[in-house]
Structure 1
């Protein structure tokens, strides 16, 4: 077989931009909307291990199960991977354009500092669950410590941190099993998650600002660094981006297939158990229900990477078509190119509709209606992104962040 016969073309859009990352970001925004909107349902009782209501119609309960299995804690590792992958792409493209290493580092540092500020404003004005700050902090630390490290170093650190997560999860599970088996008396569990959702039940917007800003730094530090999931996802993305795994998925089809199968199998299997616990089928005592957020966070790392791999495979299939990507994938990639703007737009729409200081629909909607609202908000962002794509314009948030990070040059 000649060498030309094994050449696999990169999966790219018509304009030369890699298809897989934008495609994944476009769908990720839908998953983010489905994951975030339940936090606004301040009017319903929740359990220890989830913000989803513990009541509702049969349809509501089915929606809760699907979101727990496929969405909750699976989205932010996916976001973290794509964020880390984009860092390497930006670093590479700026160097190729003639910038020196120190200048590129300054641009990245300014970008991540501005992400922290954007996140603080986002939390103060609208949404305490902002993730921009967490990724801004992770970017500051991980770029400084790892961007120029060897591939072997990245792999070792990612494996070590993943091992710590898995061992910690197994210890938590074994502790919970022991407590139940030994019938150790424990005080009733207190739902920290319910106290967070209660922020959206504050009827005065000025009074809601301080509680949101009080919770936000804990999320930034815990999710951005201490939880280890985001650092593992970002380091894995650094390693993958150097190999152009998403730019050239055809060359890495076996790796992507394995990651997709194993990652989603691990995440969805745990999600089924968690969903059964939430629905009251397993009968797990509330005193040990705290173990499920732990298992969901760790398995969510595998799920997030699995989703990224799936979209890499989808991009490979789309790029092999003679007609190129169709209108649906074109719309999704338009959203992916403007993921920051579309992410912020979700809060601009959802917070005034659902929070008590706005229309207060969060006290009345069930899980199914809230999921339908999330899909509708995402579709609005798709329409806006497609309009901007046709006009040849970036998203407004991307334009501002780029200007602040790089200047007017």
Structure 2
């Protein structure tokens, strides 16, 4: 059985980070609903726009893109350990908890990820993370800290190699290929958000999700960040952030600047400063974006440590969103898909980056208001309620909820 600290009350820091993460994810996802113009072969942003649009595209590439999903992965991994130790504390046998984790991840893949991708958004991450969770938990969940640490370094080394190869490949492509061949229109959008037939868009979304989901889940920083989440949770780093203030400070001070600097080459390439294809720095983004994501997590751990005893109202509101992250993640797509797609209101064919990001922020603010309402009533989000029922299976819900 994995070694975890004694159970504690629900930690404030992970919920605060999840709530903020949903703002980043809304901003990262909304650009995938734009269409009718040229896009780079890697990245969500158009190759044109107003001066404000272009500035915001650069900001997204530097501070948000490639940072939101590793942040989610870390918190996803952290939550697995929290889930395990809290159920054991309630008297559920470890073998049954493992079965519950397995059911939980299957539910994420089939009950949430698949319908979400089919009906709304080809870039669904819930199913991808459920699939990765099934594999990683089955192989590594009971391994020692030393084994997990070795795996983290191996994965980091592989990501670094990919960064080198992608950069070399981008330089070679710029030298030997015509400029027009370096970028192209994004076919994935033609099959999903740009089609006027909703039924046709379902097939396009499923096709893209089946391929992108696996790549997004396994061939990215996601496995590495999940393993780091396990290690952090085993030592209660976010459960008691005040006790780990020194570690969190180091990670924030190093990780955030490294993450920002790591996104600059991609942003400059997108803006045409470097004559390289947009994917040339994708490997660099994988590696340094993960560092930036960990820096964000550490920053919110430090904020939570400062506010642990008496958090301000706005922090409690954001944490309320984080407690219901699955519900409000799905709500974003429920708004974006019909609003932006050609089969809906078609806003994605005309609005620019600035307008799309403004809508994303507005949707997140509405999520905060809804979360506060649910919190005042002591109610979980509907998606969390369904996931809970699918997770427990035949376990009595009232006993598990004690």
| TM-score, normalisation: structure 1 | 0.91
Aligned residue number for residue 216 of structure 1:
209
RMSD: 1.8
Give the counterpart of 2:245 among 229, 240, 253: 253
Matches for 1:8-407 after TM superposition, within 5 Å:
16-117=9-110, 118-177=112-171, 183-185=175-177, 188-189=180-181, 191=183, 194-198=186-190, 199-225=192-218, 227-282=219-274, 284-286=275-277, 289-319=278-308, 324-407=310-393
Deviations 1:148-184 (A, max 9, x none): 111111111011111111122123324444565xx43
SS at match of 2:330: helix
Aligned residue number for residue 400 of structure 2:
none
SS at match of 1:52: coil
CA drift of 1:285 comes to 3.6
Q: Give me the whole-angstrom Cα distance separating, in 1, the residues matched to 2:371 and 2:122.
A: 25
Evaluate the alpha carbon distance shift between residue 192 and residue 385 of structure 1 in structure 2; reply closer, same or farther with a 3 A threshold.
Answer: farther
Stretches of structure 1 that go unaligned for 5 or more consecutive residues are 1-9
Deviates more, 1:260-269 or 1:238-247: 260-269
Whether contact under 8 Å (2:159, 2:283) holds in the other structure is no
CA drift of 1:194 comes to 1.2
Q: Give me the whole-angstrom Cα distance separating, in 2, the residues matched to 1:185 and 1:195.
A: 20
| TM-score, normalisation: structure 2 | 0.92
Q: Give me the whole-angstrom Cα distance separating, in 2, the residues matched to 1:203 and 1:190.
A: 28
Aligned residue number for residue 6 of structure 1:
none
Q: Give me the whole-angstrom Cα distance separating, in 1, the residues matched to 2:66 and 2:184.
A: 16
Deviates more, 1:332-341 or 1:214-223: 214-223
Q: Give me the whole-angstrom Cα distance separating, in 2, the residues matched to 1:178 and 1:258.
A: 37
Whether contact under 8 Å (2:163, 2:281) holds in the other structure is no
Q: Give me the whole-angstrom Cα distance separating, in 1, the residues matched to 2:292 and 2:53.
A: 23
Q: Give me the whole-angstrom Cα distance separating, in 1, the residues matched to 2:102 and 2:135.
A: 9
CA drift of 1:191 comes to 4.8
CA drift of 1:85 comes to 0.3
Deviations 1:7-42 (A, max 9, x none): xxx9x9xxx421110000000000000000001111
